A and B are shown apart, each in its own frame.
Chain A
């Protein structure tokens, strides 16, 4: 336990080195939030209700999905890529904590830094876009945790590609572009055209942002949690398998 805490402490101080950069990272989500709230208010054009969804539900959706997306943005792919490319992964391997667990602790460290940052964004978001009360606070918290864990698994799978190709910059960029859409961060699933909604429902990314926010709004319940749990088991198993294989590929190029 002590070594886990020590590891997390170094990670957190590493993230905090760039705290001003981190603060600036908040500006973009805030701008996006203002934009999306204005767009939804405009398309509702005074209607109180569309398909059983009120305009205050939509502005709450925008606020929460922005915060959840911020929580999902993670440096882990970049970190793993750097360690593998530079050969420093050799040092990571001799640490007393297994390599995969180090990555999960790194991801948890980033959350530890990000949550206080969100405390800064949150009041601004509430004032500018509004927020309704949660329909099921306990279930929402559980779903948020599951969503975060699923996101960790997806990112660890992408990061593992570094053991095979050494270059992930383009792939991560594409992933972030596509995931904004597939996670429901921009448009909620209930307003997507039927075919798109079906496709998105069969993919794991909607379980990272859309499901917790839908549960907060009372639009989903234990069913959503069940789907999240299934994805977590599947993706978690995939991560363990892929990382076990990846370790056999480690080539330390002269350190």
Chain B
């Protein structure tokens, strides 16, 4: 009864309800998407203004930086569009509404993700695609089937890393009832440091960003695509295989989530 196909059908029905709820506020949808896009625009504008004067940062010109920024932002949007409800997960645990998901046949995680639909992540995704599209024509990369396939795998891998890390951090709330600040802080690290070549942060910085693992989201695959494999102090083959890191991180995180769920005792509210 609760096979994968059944779960997917349940997800579609739940999501339909969430969409019907959200389209009651059309102006708000448009506005939050624009706000999300502008926020990302400001991040890229900083890079653009700096490079307008200095031309390169650690050997990366504006086209290279746009590719990195675009890949990171698309990966970010790709995980955030389906997984944005994780941002409210602590609230569900504290207020006890997560208990409701446990007594229904559909997967609790799936029910959580389809509670509501947010539109600002679509703003991230769209602005990311715009930057990435512009970057793809600006950089000196031969876009054949192989490079495009690598790019697609890298984007999916990046999304799995960011989503996996956030899922694992969210599950802390099963024990502590609150994990918002640590999630926000880690998210900031990805949003700020993921957009730059890790080389500029020195040996210690590269080590930290490899462990978290920010560099795997976009920096390592982008350096491979640009033909300047930079493994941030790791063996070069790691950079080539970086899209696979997402599968590892996401699988491990899902296991952590399942394990933490078993220890869930409910807040009692």
Contacts and interface: CB of A to CB of B under 8 A. Distances in A.
Contact of A191 (B45, B50, B202, B205): B50
Contacts, number: 72
Given A35-B196, A177-B39, A191 B188 contact: no
Given A35-B192, A35-B196, A174 B35 contact: yes
Given A31-B188, A38-B205, A42-B57, A186 B200 contact: no
B6 interface: no
Bin the interface of chain A by size: 20 to 34
Given A27-B188, A177-B42, A43 B49 contact: no
Interface of B: 31-32, 35, 38-39, 42, 45-46, 49-54, 56-58, 181, 184-185, 188-189, 192-193, 196-197, 199-202, 205
A173 interface: yes
Contacts of A223: none
B218 to A, nearest CB: 15
A169 to B, nearest CB: 9
B54 A181 contact: no
A39 interface: yes
Contact of A35 (B39, B185, B193, B197): B193
Contacts of A93: none
A180 interface: yes
A42 B55 CA distance: 12
A28 interface: yes
Q: 5 tightest A-B contacts by CB?
A: A42-B200, A43-B54, A24-B181, A186-B46, A191-B53
B188 A28 contact: yes
A32 to B, nearest CB: 6
B204 to A, nearest CB: 11
B38 to A, nearest CB: 6
13 contacts: A28-B188, A31-B188, A31-B192, A35-B192, A38-B196, A41-B200, A42-B57, A42-B200, A43-B50, A43-B54, A170-B35, A186-B42, A193-B49
A145 interface: no
Given A31-B193, A50-B53, 6 more contacts: A31-B188, A32-B192, A38-B205, A42-B199, A173-B39, A192-B49
A115 interface: no
A99 interface: no
Contact of A31 (B31, B35, B189): B189
Contacts of A173: 35, 39
B38 A174 contact: yes
A184 to B, nearest CB: 11
A170 B56 CA distance: 35
A108 interface: no
Nearest to A179: B42
B201 A38 contact: yes
Nearest to B28: A170
Contact of A170 (B31, B50, B201): B31
B196 A39 contact: yes
A35 to B, nearest CB: 5
A41 to B, nearest CB: 7
B185 A27 contact: yes
B57 A39 contact: yes
Contacts of B50: 39, 43, 187, 191
Contacts of A21: 181
A181 B41 CA distance: 11
Q: Which of A42, A187, A192 has the most CB of B within 10 A?
A: A42
Contacts of A24: 181, 184-185
Nearest to B198: A38
A97 interface: no
